[in-house]
Amino acid sequence: MATLGLPGYLFLRRILTMDLTMLRRALWVFLRPLFQLISNLVNPEIGEEWLTELNKFNRREPCWVPVVKSAKVYLRRLFTFKLGATDGKDTYATARKAFRAYFDPDFENWGIMFSGVAPEAEIASDELTQSGKFSDFLGNIATDLEKRRVLGSQFLKLCRDNSDKLRGDGRANFFVLTKGDEAVMEDLSNVFVADVCVHDRGELDACLDEFRHDDVWRGVRGHRVFSPQQ
């Protein structure tokens, strides 16, 4: 008859001398995960998922690895083009002439300048493909918005001299602007978004929104975003 050996003897002795409460507790610690596994496997809502992961475990494959969702892409690049230099001679009066259908008085109220001087620049046009707020598709931190910012004079020149680049059919064309052409502040309090529409006769209207507005713009509409090429 095989002997238990010293380790086996000590183990058996420990069981035999264990009081009933401790024995129950030890058995529950051992059996509880098994009961939970069986319960999850027969659950109609999660059973299939648990069986899939259990099979992965049996095959020694990674299981219960969290799925990392890829970042949502809101914009699709359409084209880039050269925007000519600005000479600093534009004013609110010349802006009103460019936007004949409507020119939002908030451009002046919120200090958007049109008299800035800027060299020739490469401009990118992107199409909104997913519905979202300004903070979703333009960025929500100062560094991202600074990359999208154009001077007020560049915004005016593009709309007036390159209106063929704008999306028509009542769709929006967005531009990130700041008060007084300032750099974007960390709290984003000086950031605004110009929204330009091209009407049937080619006339333009321009509205100005605060960046913090939480309106959702529909991706299926094909709105466009104009910003410096990075």
> Would you list the domain boundaries of the chain?
5-58, 75-228
Q: What is the pLDDT of residue 13?
A: 60
Block mean pLDDT (10 aa), the chain, length 230 = 57 58 65 77 78 82 68 93 96 96 96 96 97 96 97 98 93 97 97 95 94 91 93
Q: How far apart are CA 138 and CA 132, in angstroms?
A: 10
Which residue's entry shows tokens 């809101």? Answer: 74
Residue pair 215/229 in contact (Cβ under 8 Å)? The answer is no
CA pair distance 138, 175, nearest whole angstrom:
10
How far is the C-alpha of 87 from the C-alpha of 139, rounded, in Å? 29
CA pair distance 152, 150, nearest whole angstrom: 6
State the Cα–Cα distance between residues 68 and 52, nearest whole angstrom: 18
Closest CA to 196 of 156, 150, 228, 142: 156
DSSP, res 47: H
Identify the three-state secondary structure at position 82: strand
Stated pTM of the model:
0.70
